[in-house]
Structure formats: structure tokens, C-alpha cells
Structure 1
């Protein structure tokens, strides 16, 4: 089954099927005007508003190649200035993509697509399409006369990379074209729609591509106007473009090339629950702390409580969304782990969660060099409700004292909490994350989370603390005495602390991504 995706406004636009039949010239004029319009694309008149601090201070999403003069238009970036004349557009270029079902691995997860989708480009539409959906060579047709030869180029407008070169195309029969550079889809790692333009030229005769272009190193900028001039091409006689939106597929490609790691952008789309526990203004970063084993916000995020009972060994790696190296060696961070889903409102709430871990004065290169002021306690949901455990990373403006967090916690812990009082001191329950972070001028720069549920380990641990075994185990199929325990443990283990520390620690890799809120 093929699902057809309609472009926004395609049914009523000047270049809709119906309107092209009645007034093709109006469509072509509108395409030419859009190519000249400096307000049409992200590198145009709204660039300074979106990137007020310029191209090198706000990450890859604001990066511009050298020589840009904002605002730019499509024509000013694709062609030698002053050489594009919309009058040369004399036919319409139909471009239809079909994205078959498939899967890929990106940002630590498998992404699977179970249906084939199809969409047709409309250059006057604002519709954006995922890079994954444009990965295959599209079907392209146009009007032609007997004996006509064409060249077709696919070009990344702002960054100057070629994505396909075909010459000596007889009519619109692509099967008989000469492939100089085969089509490769967009790899935009950002959420804004980046334009990839399809340019059709007429040839005076069959051509042999100059070695300057046929033997060029992949990835080098491509000069469209020079290519057309050297090979005596006329036009462009038709043009259309794709607005490609970044997705995990493109992000993983850029990451594998060592260009930029924008996995935080993908994770930011998933961050809904996290807003319960951070600043009251609801601002969250396009960043995350990525756990290579457990804390996986792009997957189902679930780990068993038994596997996360020990304090994790954390490694912090700095990565910025920029090509410009930045020295972060003097920065300090605060790492907070909280549970807002506690069973008792005297232990934690969405606004004031239970504090599971607090480290302050963490240097940029090693979490374990920070001050571990509230040691890690693992998940132990006493109820059947899934609990979200959030890791929040904040940038500090100055060193913090080890007592700085104390005014922001409740006075005591409830008996409903799993841990006995020696292991659940004051300053964990009802922790005021908002107050603590705002009053200490902490800036959220990273987050991750996992989900945990009640399991055999939690039942075992609660029985060791004296909770009635029949109540703790009544939900266990085929329950009998003794209660189901974690593998290798005894129901008569002398202490919960010994049980908690009996296994190897879960290892977390924390990846900090700098953002601008």
C-alpha cells in the first residue's frame, strides 16, 4: 500500500495540476519570483531574527558558508549574481518521490517504517519532507520536443554541494541519460526546511563533461553557473525544489562523517514529561544526556529496577553544534536525578520530585570529579505505575557549596519510601528543582531519562525492610513462600544496602550538547 502525502496548499496553488493546465505561465512566473525572493528561505530576511548572535555562536543551525551576504535568495546562491533570468523558465518539472518501507539505525535506536509513502513537489508550497523520505531517486518528467537533449542538476542551495548530475538526456527518458554523479538524498541535520533545487537545462548537442566536474572530489562545492557556461547549456528551462527537514536518518549520517552530532535535536521532540520538573517557564534545551545502555529517551526508555540499583559510572563528553572549537575547560555543571512519579505526595510530586542523585561542581571532562553531595539511589517503584527517572544537567555560573541544596527539600521522608531512614536522609523528598536551579543561576543544557517499573528486586527489597510479604507478592503469578527474589539473592539477606551493592554498576555515557535558550 502506498500512502500519498499532499503538499500544503498544493490543491489550490498556482502550480497545482489544474492551474498549470489553465495558466502555466502564472506558475512559472511564481517559481521565478520565489527563486529571487530574499524572504523565501531560512537564509533570507528572517535569518538575523532566528540567529541574532551570528553564524558561529549559535550552533550548526545558524552556520553559513563564508561569503554569505544576508539576506540571500535561492538565485543569489545558486547562480553567478545577475545571471538568473526567470524568463528562461518555459516548462514545468514534475518531481515525485516514493519512499519504500524500511528501517535504519540512528542515535542509538532502530527506526522502522512500515508503509511506503509518495509525495510530489510543489515549489510554491511550504511543505517540508523528511530526509529519509527523499533518499531514493525521484521520478521526474517534463515536456520535450523530438531531438531535444537535457542536463539535470540537483543542488544543495545554501551549502553548495551537488546531489546529482545527469547529462545527454534524450527527451525526458532518464534511463538513457549519462550519470556523472548519481542522486544522493538530502542530509540536512536541522529542523528548518533546507532547499535542494532541481535544475533542468537544454543542450545544443551531446556533451562530454569537463574533467573539472567529472573527476572532482566528492563533497567539494559545485559551481552551477560555471558548469552551464563550460558546457554551453541554456536555461535553466525548469526548476523545482525540495524543502528537506532534518530527521534521525540525516543526523546519523552527519554524525558518522564527523561533521556534527544533532541527536539532541531528535530527542528534544520527545521531551514532554521533562517540563514537569524544570523551570517554570517551560524552557528546555535541545540537548540530552545519552545513556548507551539504559537512559534512552528515543527508545521505550524502560530498564528493570534490578539493573539500575547501583550508582552509575558517568562519563561526560562535550560536543557543540558548531564547526568552531570551543574551550569549555573552565566550566562547571550540576547533575540532578529525580523521580516525579512517586506513589506518595509526601515523598515527591511533579512540581517537587524525589531527589535520587545530586552532583555539583562537575568539571567538563569527568563527572566523577564533581562533589557527590547526595549519593545515587536506584529506582524502586512501590506501585504498579511506570516511573520516569530524569537526569538533568545544568551549567553553573560559579562553584556551589555542598549545603546549597538543603533549603529546597522537604523536612522528612515518608514511610512509604522504599529506603529506611539511614539511607534516605533529609533533602531528598519534595525537592524544589525550580527554586534550586533558578536561585543558583543554573542553566539547563542537557537531559535524559529512563522508565522503570516494579519488579522482583523491588518486591524482594521491600520485604527485607519489613513490608508484608503477602502484600508485596500478591501480584506475582503462582506466588508461594518464599517471595520471588532477584537471582542469586537470599530472602534472608542481612540488609537492603548489601543487596543494592551486590551487582556491577550500570554504565552511563552522558553527552552534553550546548544550546541557547
Structure 2
């Protein structure tokens, strides 16, 4: 009998380990477009609120070989010289354009706020119709300054705006620190960009951080990519990884799925980063919360957070192969499947450790749920783990598009008569 029990436990351990390490990836029905990639990386709405429909594609090449590709990682050494910038399908020869390169993650992605931004490149009055390197046909108000992130994985976002008719932007004074593309675009009547692309970079010597580092650092990097840290939870050191599965497929960080693929509560497993880190006398129980920080729309999340699931008193005393099945416990808020009205929403799972049985009560409303206050009031401390996926209504994949504003008037401040641009040059970010 003992041998049979041991075999059964071992079999369960193998199944659970397979689920956590090599489970089949859920194949989503949502086609991945450039706009969705911008939304998933929070370029929309952190940097811009959308792109003009139909959007053009920017091709950006550093050193003749290193292309920018919607969030790929380049090294600071690869991006020292200004890149060649072109527009797929060409630009309008009868129009002028503005090109911006900015970093919204200064000084560090874990603490960057909505007004954290640094200008790396600003070229105005670019002549449309150029066949190669459109940037050289314009006036550089802020010459190219290469990335030099002090810490963390930063987003470097190229934005191309179509200026109104043939109006020109004068030699204005701009500041690199605190430069906000949305504000600049509004000031000069540029509307939404016609094309956006971006890459990521880390400090020199740390460019393999996400692949050659400890598991807890890898988890943090994934949460930073989706801005779960710091927009949903403050910076923390993960003690576990959450494995979330719907149906027969396991989700990856930030994966984009349709609401119809997540109608029932998922299977959730917590895998300790080190043996004994998530189930011991310190944490005999778990609390699991699932929230949407992007309601009703990522550009105006006035209902955030929306609570989609809340369970407390989940027992942790039956781990197998350093994995805990996050099941059982007391449901304080039943599972509500994703139902984003517009835009791409992050559905974020946050796991806390409990030192004792919780007397927490159900919140009065799903809307405007304060996760930080709930954790504080119930002495939960910092999260043990977090995970997120993205979802949107399949028939609203172009929600971040807007038609071109052909009637916008280019507003030129009085400083446009300056003879030269005055660009302060503080330490690069």
C-alpha cells in the first residue's frame, strides 16, 4: 500500500511539473497586429493614445543590420548612431512630418510615472516622399542622443506624425527631460501619429538580464514589460511563478486572448522559485485576486481596478514537486470572465501569503477595487507572485485607431521665431 501511495504521489508530481514547465501553450484566435503589440507593451496609452487608421509601418535600422521590431531588445552599443528611418508604402510627398524618439521609463521602469519621459530625437518638417532615411530631410530640433538607461529595461519609442498640410514648425525650444509626446502633439496640432515602432534596451553589460539571471529577476522583468509593476502592484521580489491555464492550454505572460477563451475560472498553480519558499509555517494559506486595471478603456481607466475574482484561505499544505494547486478556500468574489468594452486590457493575477485564516469580507463592488488597501487591511504584505494576460473584443482590434484629423490647425507658439533650437542636454537616460 505504501509503495502504491508513493507511486501515485510521484505520478501527480510529474503531471504537475509537466503542467508548469512544458504544458501546451494556449493558441489564441486573436490575430496579432502591430497595434496590439503597441498596446500589449503599454506604448498605447503610456506614450500615445493610438495611431491613425490605416497605420503605416516604420522601418528603423541601426548600423545597417539591427532592425527595430515592436519591442525587440537591442544593446546600447548597437544604437549609438542615429538609425535609418523609412515608411513602408512611402510617405505623402505633399506633406511634412515630425519624428520623435522618446523613453517613457526614466529613471527606472519600476518607478516611472505618467510624466516620466525623456526626449532622444526630434526632427520636424520632414519632406514626404523620400525614398530612403526620411529623417535627414527634416530639421533636427533635438539631435539624436543614444539610449543610456541607468537601470531596468526601457522602451524607446519612435513616433511619426503628419503635419497639417504644408505648415512648418519653427525652431522652438524644447527640453529633453520631461518631454511628453502627447503634449507636444497637442500643442502643434499633430493629432495621433501615423506610425509607431519601438525597441527595448537595458544598461550596458545587462542586456541578457531576462535570460541569464535568477528566476525572481526574470519574473520581475515580465511584469515590468506589461507595466503590471508599478501600475498594478508596487515593486516586489517574487517567491513563486503563477501558471494559469484555460481549457487545455497554459498562458504566457502578456498573451493576447479573446474573452471567449476565458469564460470559466482558470486552473492556477504556484510554483516556488526555491523549495519551501511558498508553503511553510509563515504562509499556511493563500489569497488570490484577479483585477483589470484598464477599465473602461486603457487611455481613461476611470473604473480601475475592476475585481474579477477574489479567494482567501486557500490551503498551501499539500505541495507536490514544489508546486501548489491554488484551489479551495473561500470565494469572496465569484469569477467574472474578461469583458473589455474597448482597447486591450490586462487581467492580472496577484497571489499573497496569509499567516493565518482570514476574516476578510467581500468588497461592496467590483468597480474601483483598491487592491493595495485590501492587502494592507488584511495584513497580506507584499505579493508572492503575479501574472497577467491581455484580452480584447475580437471585433474591436482597431480600437486604438482613429481617422486622420485633416482639419487640425497647426498651432505655433511665439517662440517659433527663435533663430536656433535651444535643447538642454542633461545626462542621457
Class of the TM-score when normalised by the shorter of the 2 chains: 0.3 to 0.5
TM-score by length of 1: 0.32
> Greater Rg, structure 1 or structure 2?
1
Q: Give the structure, 1 or 2, with the largest relative contact order (CA under 8 Å, sep 6 or more).
A: 2
Structure-2-length-normalised TM-score:
0.38
